[in-house]
A and B are shown apart, each in its own frame.
Chain A
C-alpha cells in the first residue's frame, strides 16, 4: 500500500499528542489519569518512530515501536500494581498527598 501522507504532519501530530500527554501529567491530580497521560506520551513517541521508519522505508521504526510497546506494558503493570497499593495504604489517589519524598 502506497501512501502520500506528509511526514511533517505526522510528526506534528506526534508533537501535539506528546504535549497533550505532558499537559495531562501536570494537570491531573489523580494517579490513574497521570498514568493514562504517560501512555499518551509513549504513543506519541511511538508515532514519531513509525513516521521516521516509514519515511526511510526501514523496519527499525516498527522495531522501536515494539520495544516501546513492551516497555509500556511492563510499566503499566508495575504502575497499576503500585496504584493499588497506594490506594490500599492511603485510601486516596491524590498525588498531592503523597509527599513523603519531601526533602
Chain B
C-alpha cells in the first residue's frame, strides 16, 4: 500500500505542471477539470491508503516510501522520503478532502475569471507543497514544503495583482511569515549540528537521550521551531498578515485558513512534540501565546464589518485554541480541533465567497442583510458552519473539539485556571461574534440587490462540508458522554496521551459551564444586535467606546506598532543611506578619474611632435629613476 504514497503529492504536481505548461491552450472546462481532478484523484488515493492504514495497521505504525536521495554532503544525506502515520494521515485526509471540495467550488467561482489557469496551477502547487510538508519524513523536505506553501500563499493572495493593495497584502504575508521561517531555519541548523540528521523519527528517538528535559539547547530549538510555527499559523506576534490575506479570492482564503498554510504551525509542533516536551518553558509559552491570540483575535473579530475579516480573525482565534491545546499537552485534542475547524472554516469561507459573489463583490456585512430568504442553501450551510464555530452544544462538531480543549486547559498537566478562564472567555467571544455575523448578514432587511445565485457546483461542496461540520465531532466523544475515541485511537499511536492532574475531577461541571458560556455569548449578541440595537448605537456616541472600537477594528493596532518599531526605523535608515554612504568613496574615485581624464586629455592633441616629446620625457623620467636608485 505504501507504494501508492507518492501519488498523493504526485497528482497535484502533475496538475500544476499541466496547467502551467499548457494552461493557455486548454479550454476553460479542461483547466477546471485538470485543476480539480488532480486534487480529487489525490483525495481518492488518500482514502484508499487511509482505509488500508486503518484496516490493516502496518507493523511499524507507518508507511514509508523512499523515492530517491536528495543530495549527499559528507554524512548528511537527506532523502525524498514520504512518511505516513496517524498524524500525517489526519492532515493528508483533511488537506486533500477539503482542497478537493474547494477546487470543485472554484470551478464555478472562477468561471468569470480570465486567468483561471494561473489560479488552478497555484492552487495545485499549494496543495502539493502542503502535502509534501505533512508527508515529509525529514525536516529538510518539510521545510521545502513549508517554503513552497509560503510562496504559493504569496501567489494566491496577490492573485488579483492589478490592485496594488492586493500586492501589498501578498508581500506582507510573505515577509511576515519569512520572519518565522528564518528562525525555523536556524532551528534546523541547530538540529543538524546536534544530531547530524534531520530525519524526524531519528531526532525523536535520540532527542530524549541527548538532551535533558528543560535544558537550554532543547528550549532554544523548541523556541526557534515555534517561531516558524507562529509565522505560518498567524499567532501572536506574527499574526498581522492574516487579515490582509483576505485580498485573495475566497477559495484561496478557504484553502489557506482551513486546509493549508495556517495549520502548518500546528502540524510542526505536533510532529516535533518530542522536542517541545523536553522544554516545559516553551510549552508554557505556546499555551500563553495561544490564549492571548484567541482573546485578541476574538475581540477584533467582534467589531469587523468585512465578513471575510471576521472569519480571518476567527481563524486566528481558533488556531489560538489549537496552540493552547498543544501548549497544555493535549496534542490529540489540538489535532482534532484542527480537523473540525478545517471543515467548518472551509464551509464558512466558501459560503461567504458565494454571498460576496452574489452581492456584486460586497464585503461589508452591514450592506448585506436579509439573505435568509433569498439564499436559503447558503443560509442553512452558513448557519451550520457558524454553529460549529460557536460550538453550539451537542449537535455540532465544534462543540466536541472545543470542549476537549477547554477541559484539558483546566485539567491537564500544563493547564491552569487562568488558561481555562481565558479559553472560556474566548468561547464566549466566539459565540458572540459568530451570532453577530449571522444576524447582520442574514436577518434584517435586504440592503443590496441580489446578483447571480450560486449554482450546484458551489452548493454541493457546501452541503458536504455542512454535513461534516455536524457529524465529524461524533468520532470523538468525551468519556462521560458516549465515550467514543475513534480519532484519538489513530493519533495516540503518534502523539503522547494527555496527563490529567490527579487533583481535578468533575469534568461534567466544566462541560456545563462551557455550554452555558457559549449560550450566554449567543444570547448577548442576540440582544445587542437584534433585540435592542439601540445599545450599540448609543455606545457609538461615547468617545471612549468609539476609541475602543477603532482600536479593535485595526486588530489592536499591531500594524501600527510594527510600523513604528520596525518599519519606520528601517525606512529612516534606508533613507539616510539612500545615496549609499559607502558608495560615496567609489563615486569619489569616479570623480577623480573623470577630472584626471579631463586634465590629461589635452595631451591627446593629435600632434605627432608632442607624442615624440612625450616619449622623450618618458625616457628621461625612467633614466632619472635609474640614476637616483
The reply to whether B612 and A96 form a contact with Cβ atoms under 8 Å apart is: no
Q: Measured between alpha carbons, how far is A103 from B603 in the docked complex, in Å? A: 8
Kindly identify, within residues 595 to 614 of chain B, every residue whose CB is under 8 Å from any CB belonging to chain A: 601, 604-609, 612-613
The reply to whether B612 and A100 form a contact with Cβ atoms under 8 Å apart is: no
The reply to whether B606 and A101 form a contact with Cβ atoms under 8 Å apart is: yes
Q: Which of A25, A34, A95 contacts B607 (CB 8 A)?
A: A95
Q: Which of A25, A26, A98, A102 contacts B604 (CB 8 A)?
A: A102
Q: Which of B606, B608, B612 contacts A103 (CB 8 A)?
A: B606
The reply to whether A25 and B612 form a contact with Cβ atoms under 8 Å apart is: yes
- Give the residues in chain A near B607, CB-CB below 8 Å: 95-96, 99
B487 to chain A, nearest CB (A): 86
- Give the residues in chain B near A100, CB-CB below 8 Å: 606
Q: Measured between alpha carbons, how far is A22 from B619 in the docked complex, in Å? A: 11
Q: Measured between alpha carbons, how far is A102 from B608 in the docked complex, in Å? A: 10
- Give the residues in chain B near A34, CB-CB below 8 Å: 608
Q: Measured between alpha carbons, how far is A9 from B286 in the docked complex, in Å? A: 99
Question: Does B512 interact with chain A (Cβ within 8 Å)?
Answer: no
- The answer to whether residues A103 and B616 also contact, given A26-B609, A29-B609, A96-B609 and a CB cut-off of 8 A, is no
The reply to whether B601 and A22 form a contact with Cβ atoms under 8 Å apart is: no
Residues of chain B at interface, number, CB under 8 A: 10
Is chain B's binding surface mostly helix, strand, loop or mixed?
helix
B55-82 interface bits toward A, Cβ cutoff 8 Å, 1 = contact, 0 = none: 0000000000000000000000000000
Q: Measured between alpha carbons, how far is A99 from B601 in the docked complex, in Å? A: 14
Kindly identify, within residues 56 to 92 of chain A, every residue whose CB is under 8 Å from any CB belonging to chain B: none
The reply to whether B616 and A22 form a contact with Cβ atoms under 8 Å apart is: yes
The reply to whether B605 and A102 form a contact with Cβ atoms under 8 Å apart is: yes
- Give the residues in chain A near B613, CB-CB below 8 Å: 26
Q: Measured between alpha carbons, how far is A34 from B605 in the docked complex, in Å? A: 18
B615 to chain A, nearest CB (A): 8
The reply to whether B601 and A103 form a contact with Cβ atoms under 8 Å apart is: yes
B572 to chain A, nearest CB (A): 47
Residue on B nearest A26 in the bound complex, by CB: B612
The reply to whether B604 and A103 form a contact with Cβ atoms under 8 Å apart is: yes
B621 to chain A, nearest CB (A): 15
Kindly identify, within residues 577 to 629 of chain B, every residue whose CB is under 8 Å from any CB belonging to chain A: 601, 604-609, 612-613, 616
- Give the residues in chain A near B616, CB-CB below 8 Å: 22, 26
B592 to chain A, nearest CB (A): 20
A49 to chain B, nearest CB (A): 19
A11 to chain B, nearest CB (A): 15
- Give the residues in chain B near A26, CB-CB below 8 Å: 609, 612-613, 616
Q: Measured between alpha carbons, how far is A100 from B607 in the docked complex, in Å? A: 9
- Give the residues in chain A near B605, CB-CB below 8 Å: 99, 102-103
Q: Measured between alpha carbons, how far is A103 from B605 in the docked complex, in Å? A: 6
B611 to chain A, nearest CB (A): 9
A-B contact pairs, 26 of them (CB 8 A): A22-B612, A22-B616, A25-B609, A25-B612, A26-B612, A26-B613, A26-B616, A29-B609, A34-B608, A95-B607, A95-B608, A95-B609, A96-B607, A96-B609, A98-B608, A99-B605, A99-B607, A100-B606, A101-B606, A102-B604, A102-B605, A102-B606, A103-B601, A103-B604, A103-B605, A103-B606
| Chain A to chain B: the 3 pairs with minimum beta-carbon distance, closest first | A103-B604, A102-B606, A99-B606
- 16 extra A-B contacts, CB within 8 A, seeds A101-B606, A102-B605: A22-B612, A22-B616, A26-B612, A26-B613, A26-B616, A34-B608, A95-B607, A95-B608, A95-B609, A99-B606, A100-B606, A101-B604, A102-B604, A102-B606, A103-B601, A103-B606
